[in-house]
Amino acid sequence: MSWLPDDFVHPVQVPLLGGAYHLRPVREADAPLDYPAVMGSRERLFSIFGPAWGWPAATMTYEANQADLLRHAKEIAAHQSFNYALFDAAETAVLGCVYIDPPERAGADGEISWWVVDELVGSEVEEAFDALVPQWIAADWPFEQPRFLGREISWADWAALPEHPGA
């Protein structure tokens, strides 16, 4: 049984701040923008995602990042999981990402996490992004019990939960 309804169509673009920014599914071709975004914020991102995912490693290469983006694109096409990048309107920079995944831990039907690059921490963009993600998930995704990792539950508390029966 799939974690999403068979007829679910994932959003292809989500505006933020009147269209000055937007989310769209990542592609392998985003590597030239994604790699500097990730590695430029690597220490903070590792402090958030490292204990659970081991990401992003200090030794992550451009090629490894590109392979990750290709894997994400394939998972999106197969509706296995979703990775949306946050872009400026002209798509000249990746400014963050949202991950929408099947539940690994019991008590949720989807697990969502997100981040922005270091230079946006504390900004109006981060504030709007933080407000948008839960609203977007509620409006456009078929979850009854979404879990917002690192937001409504700490990563440590999440890791202590029992595994999801389907994981």
Tens of pLDDT, residue by residue, the chain (167 residues)? 479 999 999 999 999 999 999 999 999 999 999 999 999 999 999 999 988 889 999 999 999 999 999 999 999 999 999 999 999 999 999 999 999 999 999 999 999 999 999 999 999 999 999 999 999 999 999 999 999 999 999 999 999 999 998 76
Asked if residue 5 is part of any domain, the answer here is no
Q: Kindly report the CATH number assigned to the domain that includes residue 84.
A: 3.40.630.30
Q: Who's near 47: CB < 8 A, 6+ residues apart?
A: none
Asked if residue 164 is part of any domain, the answer here is no
Asked if residue 6 is part of any domain, the answer here is no
| Number of folded domains that form the chain | 1
Asked if residue 29 is part of any domain, the answer here is yes
Asked if residue 32 is part of any domain, the answer here is yes
Which range marks the domain in which residue 113 is found?
A: 23-158
Asked if residue 4 is part of any domain, the answer here is no
- The whole-model pTM stands at 0.95
| Residue 146 preceded by cis peptide, ω within 30 | no
Run of H or E including 74: helix 62-77
Asked if residue 135 is part of any domain, the answer here is yes
